[in-house]
Structure 1
Amino acid sequence: MNILLTGGTGYIGSHTAVLLADAGHTVVLFDNFCNSNKTVSARINQITGHDIPCVEGDVRDTKLLVKTLHEFQIDAVIHFAGLKAVGESVREPLKYFDNNVAGSISLLEAMQKASVKTIVFSSSATVYGKPQYLPLDEAHPLNPINPYGRTKLQVEEILQDLVKSDPSWRVALLRYFNPVGAHDSGLIGEDPNGIPNNLMPYVMQVASGKLPHLNIFGNDYDTKDGTGERDYIHVMDLAQGHLAALNYLQDHLGCEIFNLGTGIPVSVLELVGTYEKVIGKKIPSQIASRREGDLAVCYADTSKANHTLNWYALKDVHDMCTSGIRWQTFRSSLEGSRE
């Protein structure tokens, strides 16, 4: 298949691009580089041995999307492009609704014009909000507690309404839990601009000396060690989930929703402890007060993806840490070469 990846040079998009290319698909990247680096495209080419086209553009540019879909004879789209920082979404909600929701509408309009009706959407477990029960399955009530989560839910609803209006669409909504880790090559990984919002890249920057210490927000939760527990999934397992969803859509019309996680809750201290064992040194940390909106425990029920897609998360926390360290070493060398 010819597959367009919006946000294709971002964290999850880049890893999925590598996997799809390795699986024999023809990949086209589309990105405005607002939260990624143009050099990622070259590193994807280095890993895959393919010269993968990369179109610079914004998903709100419907005309450019139509042109791209026609030019590369695209069969399916994986839609990663979107802003994803929860705190920023609270401060700048209009920016998030414009980019994430209006951008998705622009993409879908372009796909309609180009008669491309297969899409995998990068959604999030944030659509569930505070768990009413655990583990979270796809039938859990939806009540996102921040603008970022609400943008993801709105796009899910738009896609569901689109399928109702035109049953010839093939749509998969993938609700991610907490992606971490990097490609085994060490050439691509999570590379946030500014201070990281997520735990793993923050830990890596503390370990490298770029940040002074890790703040652990709360150690008095009702969990195994008092710190918050999350469902961390290796980014390459997540990429495999997109390939499995695309394969599923080849034989199925309509819209399906799948959780992508491991189903195993891991605490902040467990993740940090594993990282310390791998690198052989302590991570400077301090306990801080809980953050408003943080949950004690959140993890997935992945049985639907297991049974329907024949997809399973295979990598563990040790794999996540070792691959992340490999990427951090390469990333530090890049920063050193720029100085």
Structure 2
Amino acid sequence: MRVLVTGGAGYIGSHTCIRLLEAGHEVTVLDNFQNSRPEVLDRVQTITDATLEVLHADVRAPESFTQFMGEWKPEAVVHFAGLKSVNESVEKPAEYYSTNVQGTVNVARAFVEMGGGAFVFSSTAAVYGAEATMPVTENSPTRPVNPYGWSKLMAEQVLKDIHTAHPQLSVALLRYFNPVGAHPSGLIGEDPAGVPANLMPYMARVADGTYPSLKVFGSDYPTADGSGVRDFLHVDDLAESHIVALKSLAGDPGLVTWNVGRGEGVSVFEMVAAFQRVTGRRIPYSVEPRRPGDVAESYADPTEIERATSWRAGRSVDDMVADLWRWQKRSSAD
């Protein structure tokens, strides 16, 4: 298929582009490179020995991409373009609603106007409430606790309503849990601008000496060791879930909502221990107060996507750490 990947130069988008190209799809990446680098796409092409097209455009400005979509006529859209920091969303909510909600409206509208097809949406477990019973199912209450979560939930509703009005738009809403790791080649991985907001890339920079220690936000949660528990998922497993979502929509058009996770929780302290075990590097840390908007634990029940597609995350925590560390060492040396 001809697949338009918005935000395709980003962390998850670039790994998904690899899987799409390996599967033989024709790929165009739409990105404004606000939080990504064009050279990532060169590395994607090196890894796959395949070519992709690049459209420098912004989902907030439909005039920058609607003509291209009308001429190229993508058969599918994988929509990653958006902002994703919980803390930043609290500080800059208007930017999050503008990019994550209006940007989704713009892309979906343009896609419907040129005929529609399969639309895979990058959503998040942040749409669920802080009081959700574990493991989280797709029927758990959706009560976000921060603007980032709300922006993704609103974008989901946009797509549901457009699908109802225009059934030619088939939609898969993929609610990610915590993507980590990197491509095993070491050529691409998560490369946040400035100080990383997420645990794993920050810990990798502690391991390589960039930062002196890790801050653990909260050790008094009602969990086994007091630290927050999350469902960590290898980014390559997550990338594969997009391929199976596209196949599912092609064979059975409609609307689906799926959790994408491993289905088990790993605490912050357990992840620190894994990082030290796999890398042989010590990770000093200090315990800090809880952050506003954080929940004690969050892990998925991924039964629905497995039942529908037979997909299941197969990579271990040690795989996540090993691949991330390979990427970190290479990127530090560049």
TM-score, scaled relative to structure 1: 0.96
Q: Which amino acid aligns with 2:198?
A: N
What SS class does the counterpart of residue 8 from structure 2 fall into? coil
Q: Which amino acid aligns with 2:131?
A: P
The one-character-per-residue Cα deviations of 1:46-96 (angstroms, maximum 9, x if unpaired) are: 111112111111012223322222343311000000011111111111111
Q: In structure 1, what is the Cα distance between the partners aligned to 2:166 and 2:111?
A: 13
Q: In structure 2, what is the Cα distance between the partners aligned to 1:102 and 1:324?
A: 33
Q: In structure 2, what is the Cα distance between the partners aligned to 1:132 and 1:76?
A: 33
Mapped contact 2:221–2:228 kept (Cα < 8 A):
yes
Superposed counterparts of 1:1-339, under 5 Å: 1-334=1-334
What SS class does the counterpart of residue 120 from structure 1 fall into? strand
Mapped contact 2:112–2:169 kept (Cα < 8 A):
no
Mapped contact 1:66–1:114 kept (Cα < 8 A):
no
The one-character-per-residue Cα deviations of 1:292-338 (angstroms, maximum 9, x if unpaired) are: 2221111000000110121100001000000000110111122xxxx
Q: Which amino acid aligns with 1:21?
A: L
Mapped contact 2:116–2:168 kept (Cα < 8 A):
no
Gap regions ≥5 residues in structure 1:
335-339
Mapped contact 1:66–1:113 kept (Cα < 8 A):
no
Q: In structure 1, what is the Cα distance between the partners aligned to 2:116 and 2:165?
A: 15
Residues 328 and 280 of structure 1: is their aligned pair in 2 closer, same or farther, counting only changes over 3 Å?
Answer: same
Mapped contact 1:177–1:231 kept (Cα < 8 A):
yes
Please state how far the C-alpha of 1:138 moved relative to its aligned partner.
0.2
Q: In structure 2, what is the Cα distance between the partners aligned to 1:118 and 1:244?
A: 12
Q: In structure 2, what is the Cα distance between the partners aligned to 1:69 and 1:319?
A: 38
Deviates more, 1:66-75 or 1:297-306: 66-75
The one-character-per-residue Cα deviations of 1:228-259 (angstroms, maximum 9, x if unpaired) are: 11000000000011001000000222211000
What SS class does the counterpart of residue 259 from structure 1 fall into? strand
Q: Which amino acid aligns with 1:174?
A: L
Q: In structure 2, what is the Cα distance between the partners aligned to 1:261 and 1:169?
A: 25
Q: In structure 2, what is the Cα distance between the partners aligned to 1:97 and 1:119?
A: 20
What SS class does the counterpart of residue 250 from structure 1 fall into? helix
Q: In structure 2, what is the Cα distance between the partners aligned to 1:180 and 1:27?
A: 24
Q: In structure 1, what is the Cα distance between the partners aligned to 2:277 and 2:284?
A: 14
What SS class does the counterpart of residue 65 from structure 2 fall into? helix
Q: Which amino acid aligns with 1:133?
A: T
**RMSD, aligned CA:** 1.1
Mapped contact 2:6–2:79 kept (Cα < 8 A):
yes
TM-score, scaled relative to structure 2: 0.98
Mapped contact 2:73–2:114 kept (Cα < 8 A):
no
Q: In structure 2, what is the Cα distance between the partners aligned to 1:155 and 1:220?
A: 34
Q: In structure 2, what is the Cα distance between the partners aligned to 1:132 and 1:6?
A: 31
Q: In structure 2, what is the Cα distance between the partners aligned to 1:4 and 1:215?
A: 38
Mapped contact 1:131–1:298 kept (Cα < 8 A):
no
Mapped contact 2:112–2:166 kept (Cα < 8 A):
no
Please state how far the C-alpha of 1:210 moved relative to its aligned partner.
1.1
Please state how far the C-alpha of 1:105 moved relative to its aligned partner.
0.9
Q: In structure 2, what is the Cα distance between the partners aligned to 1:131 and 1:263?
A: 18
